[in-house]
Amino acid sequence: ETGVTQSPTHLIKTRGQQVTLRCSSQSGHNTVSWYQQALGQGPQFIFQYYREEENGRGNFPPRFSGLQFPNYSSELNVNALELDDSALYLCASSLRAPGTNYGYTFGSGTRLTVV
> How is 52-101 classified by DSSP, letter by letter?
TEEEEE-S--TTEEEEE-TTSEEEEEE-S--GGG-EEEEEEEESSPTTSS
Instruction: Kindly tell me which of 16 and 28 has the beta carbon lying closer to another protein.
Output: 28
Q: How far is the CB of 52 from another protein (least distance, A)?
A: 14
Give dist(CA 37, CA 29) in Å, integer: 22
Q: How far is the CB of 20 from another protein (least distance, A)?
A: 19
Is the Cβ of residue 17 or residue 40 nearer to another protein in the bound state?
40
Residue with smaller CB distance to another protein, 22 or 57: 57
State the residues that interact with another protein by CB under 8 A: 1-2, 4, 6, 33, 35, 37, 39-45, 47-48, 54-59, 88, 90, 92, 98-109, 111
